[in-house]
Amino acid sequence: MTPGENTQRVVVVGAGPVGALAAIYAATRGDRVEVYELRADLRDPSTTPLNFTKSINLALSERGINAMRTARAGNLLDEVLNETIPMHGRMIHGRRKNDQLFQEPQAYDVHGRFIRAADRAVLNKRLLDALEKMPNVHFFFNHKLIGADFNTNTAWFEKRDRAKRTDHAQNPTSNDGSSSEHEDSISSRAREIAVDFDFLIGADGAHSATRYHLMKYAQLSYQQEYIDALWCEFHIDPRTSDSSFAISPNHLHIWPGSSFMFIAIPSNDKSFTCTLFAPSACFESLSRDPGSSLAEFFASNFPGVCPDLISATDLLQQFRENPHLPLISIKCSPYHYQSSAVILGDAAHAMVPFYGQGMNAGLEDVRVLFDFLDRHGVYNATCPDPAARQQARCEALAAYTKQRTPDAAAINDLALRNYEEMRAGVVSPLYKTRKYVEEK
């Protein structure tokens, strides 16, 4: 659909997966869409690679897939799914009493349904590529939201001439290392611009500036919690002999460790992206002298990882070089202010990653939001004048907050509980019984 005289001007803040999908939904309904993103275009090869700040791959499930299916954006979903790897279940790794290593597959679904390993940057790029093809979408990279008036519908952005660098190892602040408040300027000549909008969608992540400004208008209740766990990323290379996957590509691998765990998710280049989750005290203790403690810690807790899958040298180097990041959980309500603005994704409900649903739930926000906007007639021909449309949007946003807040809070709680399940509960009763018999 192309914009006409009566089209709304929709400003999307944040071009992460959720903001990009929201922009697609608005653009396919004929809105004039402007996407403002703090960072440079991640498709630009000179941009700092995403894996510097973010977990490289993640689990994509039906929640997120359905939101892309419903986007009506050509073959977007096929393009995304073509670059994913099916994960049919968990693979639990451990050591028996007789010192033998074991792997125990646990299917996700009795009917064979599965989740998929997706490269976060590739998925984000496909969404941006789809947006690029739409004539009613305009990108503004290197633009940081710095202020908003949700009564006059004006937002202010700082336009940077050059991208900024963030030192995440020094300033770990969020789940994903994004620390917009702690930027270490390379060189920037910032310029402020004011932008008017009919409707603003804030999808600017866990440390959302939109949410911060929204708080001054909506009576927004807000709760944030840092859990006592840090995460650090590691990498398993393809097998040197034949460049194949070193372990089964169709599982999410878990080495449960009771109070900590190590997981591995397959990537298209036949490597695995792995994550160590552990209490901060454990990271502190390992950091004191990793040269002598790290390999031993892995040998006793995550059997078969080092040196079989990651050499002791690589393990040490990755532990030293990759940031040790905290995990934040955020709940707030309402998600909107009158007809002017709404927050989606991590901006509204950042969650710990143990349920693999943070991005999926954020993508689902987009589907649910536009379902409410459609049902309230915001895009109907019978809603032609701006005042009627504004009223319809106001009712749609209130209905959205009412339905979505408890749903997102429930996923948030499940994510917290699943940490216990993944690091300890996954050791199945079958294995426990077998171990018991062996011990007898």
Q: Is 173 in the site for ligand FAD (CB under 6 A)?
A: no
In whole angstroms, the minimum distance from the beta carbon of 274 to ligand FAD comes to 11
Nearer CB in complex with ligand FAD: 153/166? 166
Q: Is 14 in the site for ligand FAD (CB under 6 A)?
A: yes
Binding string to ligand FAD for residues 65 to 104, with x set by CB under 6 A, is what?
----------------------------------------
330 and 224 in contact (C-beta within 8 Å)? yes
- Work out the end-to-end distance of the chain between its first and last CA atoms, rounded to an integer number of angstroms: 70
CA dist list (Å): 23 to 10, 13, 229, 267: 8, 10, 34, 27
Contact pick of 360, 390, 412, 418 for ligand FAD (by CB under 6 A): 360
Task: Give the total of residues touching ligand FAD (CB under 6 A).
Answer: 35
286 to 345, contacts with ligand FAD by CB under 6 A? 345
Nearer CB in complex with ligand FAD: 180/401? 180
Q: Is 273 in the site for ligand FAD (CB under 6 A)?
A: no
Both tokens of 129, joined, read: 């590529």
> Shortest CA distance to 121 belongs to which of 56, 63, 165?
56
Contact pick of 12, 87, 137, 145 for ligand FAD (by CB under 6 A): 145
DSSP label of 45: T
Contact pick of 33, 59, 87, 422 for ligand FAD (by CB under 6 A): 59
Contact pick of 353, 367, 370, 378 for ligand FAD (by CB under 6 A): 353
- At 223, which amino acid appears? Q
Which SS3 state, helix, strand or coil, does residue 191 take? strand
> Is the four-CA dihedral 20, 22, 28, 31 of positive or negative sign?
negative
CA dist list (Å): 425 to 109, 276, 338: 17, 17, 44
Q: Is 178 in the site for ligand FAD (CB under 6 A)?
A: yes
Tell me: cis bond preceding 290? Omega within 30 of 0 counts.
Answer: no
List residues binding ligand FAD (CB under 6 A).
13-19, 36-39, 55, 58-59, 144-145, 175-176, 178, 180, 203-205, 209, 231, 275, 345-346, 353, 356-360, 362
